[in-house]
Amino acid sequence: MKGLSLILPAHNAERVIKDSIEKYHKTFSKKFKDFEIIVVCNNCTDRTESICHSLESRFPLQIISVPYKGKGNALMKGFNRARFDIIGFLDADNPFDLNKISKMINYLDNNHAVIVSKYKKGRKKKQEFLSRRFISLGGSLFSKTLLGLPFRDTQAGAKFFKKEVWEKMKKDSFICVGFDWDMEFLYKLKKLNFKVVEVYVPCKSEKFSSFRVKYLPGMVFRLIKLRFL
């Protein structure tokens, strides 16, 4: 089994980051002999970074501090530091069943990337946070009508792919650097003809959301720019 570099983008996640690191390590260190967690602290103003440093002696951690916001910015910093053949990212609040996530990674045997969908076909979409309802609705609309993406859930914070995907993709600059980054990533996967599979994994909990509705205008502008470049 190949090694895994797991990226955690974290903005003011002091309430959840220690527990998530412990559980991520417990799950994935059993599956992967070579395993690392790369926490990217993006514009944190709380104790997230210091908590991570306190765990360095217990876990295979890399800690990166980025002085500006943007989920996409944080992820790409982490991907560029990844050492192993499989790269993935999960949210800092550990919202998914990790046993199912671990099994989901096996799809990479026959695909270039595997992504989570929180929504099962035929069921109504539900979100705990109003802000995430906005991004879910907007993401679905833009991904299908503007970008032609076939996925039910572009925004779930659980995506895994072979390192060769990023090696090829990172040669191009990204327009989307915030929460809209996921859609550009999937759009580039499509344009590069990589094989992607979407797997249903229900969201067991959402402890917090750093998304704000005020981000939407910028996201819309960047996605339109992406499509018509």
Report the pLDDT value the prediction gives residue 146, as an integer from 0 to 100. 79
**Could you give the angle at which helices 71-81 and 181-191 cross, rounded to 10 degrees?**
50
Query: Are the beta carbons of 31 and 68 closer than 8 angstroms?
Result: no
Instruction: Return the SS3 of 132.
Output: helix
Report the pLDDT value the prediction gives residue 206, as an integer from 0 to 100. 59
Cα–Cα dist 59/221, whole Å: 40
What are 5's strand-pairing partners? 36, 87
Residue with tokens 């570099």: 5
What are 189's strand-pairing partners? none
Starting at the earlier edge strand, list the strands of the sheet with 61-66: 61-66, 35-42, 4-10, 86-90, 158-162, 113-117, 196-200
Burial of 135 (0-12, 13-18, 19+ CB in 10 A): buried
Regions of the chain with pLDDT less than 50 = 127
CA distances 118 to 94, 125, 151, 156, Å, are: 13, 8, 11, 7
Cα–Cα dist 70/182, whole Å: 12
Tokens of 115: 């992504």
Q: Choose the CATH number for 4-227 among 2.60.260.20, 3.40.50.2300, 1.20.1260.10, 3.90.550.10.
A: 3.90.550.10
Q: Give, as one character, the DSSP assignment of residue 36.
A: E
